[in-house]
Amino acid sequence: DIAVDAYVILHRVIFQWVLGRGLYFNELMAKKLSLLGCVGMLIAIIVQSRLSSSRKSFPGLLHASDKVVATDTATTRLSIVLLGGRLCIAFLFCYVGLSELHRLLFQPFTPYLPGDGHDVIWPKAVELLLAMPFTFGFRMDTVTKLLAVSLVTEAFYAWSWWRLQGDANVFSQKRRALHYREHFMTNMATAGGLLLLVKLGGGRYTVDELVKKQD
């Protein structure tokens, strides 16, 4: 489902661009694309664990040198997947942070209703601030946990659809509640992907690993 969502989003963006209407990404689009990175990391760790299990089941089939090469290759591939997943999630924070802060600070009018979750500025500022060290893999454990906490806090503060005021039977109110729910669930899912990244580590391609090698 996530892959289909990502494909549909990219297809629409490219189609609009080909028609000369410019490149348009909104906050929810960026969040859904970031989930693709989360799913990629999850698939990578499942494949990695299955390969490790198969090697343990047939230990005599590999010589010691072959085991080292196989482990090194698997680690490199996993690190590449972790890098790709991290960059997908970083795109969310950088794009949403920059575009939404620019809209809120420099555009005099908002297209949303008063108190709308899109106009809550502090989560976007916090996530943009943390996006730089996250992108380069600096202090990964701490920064990733802070980003996960920020996303969960934003979900409950800005996207709690059950607290919306208005008649729940009105079509426009139903659409708004569904939109809020999508934001809420993508925030929670991305936070889950970040916690998975904490568990897996940043991989080889991070500033943290570079500092370790120099030490």
20 part of a folded domain: no
Tokens of 212: 């370790």
19 part of a folded domain: no
Number of domains in the chain: 1
- What would you report as the CA-atom Rg of the chain, rounded to the nearest whole angstrom? 20
> According to the model, what pLDDT value does residue 10 have?
67
Q: What is the mean pLDDT of residues 14-31?
A: 70
1 part of a folded domain: no
Least confident of 5-9, 147-151, 197-201: 5-9
> According to the model, what pLDDT value does residue 157 have?
93
- Kindly indicate the confidence band of residue 1, based on its pLDDT and cuts at 50, 70 and 90: low
> According to the model, what pLDDT value does residue 5 have?
63
46 part of a folded domain: yes
Cα 164 from Cα 177, distance rounded (Å): 7
Cα 136 from Cα 101, distance rounded (Å): 22
Task: Identify the domain containing residue 125 by its residue range.
Answer: 30-214
119 part of a folded domain: yes
Tokens of 144: 């990733």
Tokens of 140: 């990964």
Q: What rounded mean pLDDT belongs to the chain?
A: 78
Give yes or no for a contact between 54 and 178, defined as CB atoms under 8 angstroms apart: no
Give yes or no for a contact between 79 and 205, defined as CB atoms under 8 angstroms apart: yes
130 part of a folded domain: yes
22 part of a folded domain: no
Q: What is the pTM of this model?
A: 0.77
Q: What is the mean pLDDT of residues 187-198?
A: 87
- Which residues, 6+ apart, have CB-to-CB distance to 55 below 8 Å? 62, 67, 70
160 part of a folded domain: yes
More confident residue, 74 or 173: 173
Cα 94 from Cα 91, distance rounded (Å): 5
